[in-house]
Amino acid sequence: MNVNQVVTVDEMRNLERAAAQAGLTESQIMEKAGTTIASEITSILRPMAGRKILVLVGPGNNGGDGLVIARHLARSGASVDAVLDRARSDDPKIDRATAEWVRIHHFAEIRLSNLARRADVIIDCLLGIGSKPPLRGIPLAMLHEASEFPAFRIACDIPSGIDATTGEADEN
């Protein structure tokens, strides 16, 4: 598949189902997605050394992709902070990210604006193709805090707050 190809939500779900039926685990699918996205980011923003990256990590597969992206960008020489929407226990993706020098934070325990202010790049991995506007709760608060500062913006799958089927966008 061409990485620039756009698919519908139903087509994406069918592709994910086909990958699972072919024997790939959810973790392997996330690893492939995150690795590919990190590679694209690296090719656009090269060199990565010294870049300050902020990854906003949500609860689902999009968040899992974000942790993989964070790990690969840190491995490429970037300084990476990942802010999780909530605490997680026993997540090997977090362990792997911290092993590659990704700094993990929990939104409830920090001021996201302090990290966003210094970021060259902010990567939105909060909500994926299954989310629908309006934004609310912690994802809304995280995006609001991060949006106050100029940084290059990248979204994993689709920007949080946009309906992937209709294109309807959250007013925020």
Interval 2-13 mean pLDDT: 79
* pLDDT band at 112; cut points 50, 70, 90: very high
SS3 136: coil
pLDDT at 3 over 60: no
Tens of pLDDT, residue by residue over 71-95, are 999 999 999 999 999 988 788 999 9
pLDDT at 43 over 90: yes
Q: Domain segments of the chain: what residues?
A: 9-155
pLDDT at 1 over 70: no
SS3 152: strand
DSSP at 59: S
Q: At residue 12, what is the residue type?
A: M
| pTM, two decimal places | 0.93
Q: How far is CA 148 from the centre of its chain?
A: 19
CATH number for the 9-155 domain, one of 3.20.20.80, 3.65.10.10, 3.40.50.10260, 3.20.20.70? Answer: 3.40.50.10260
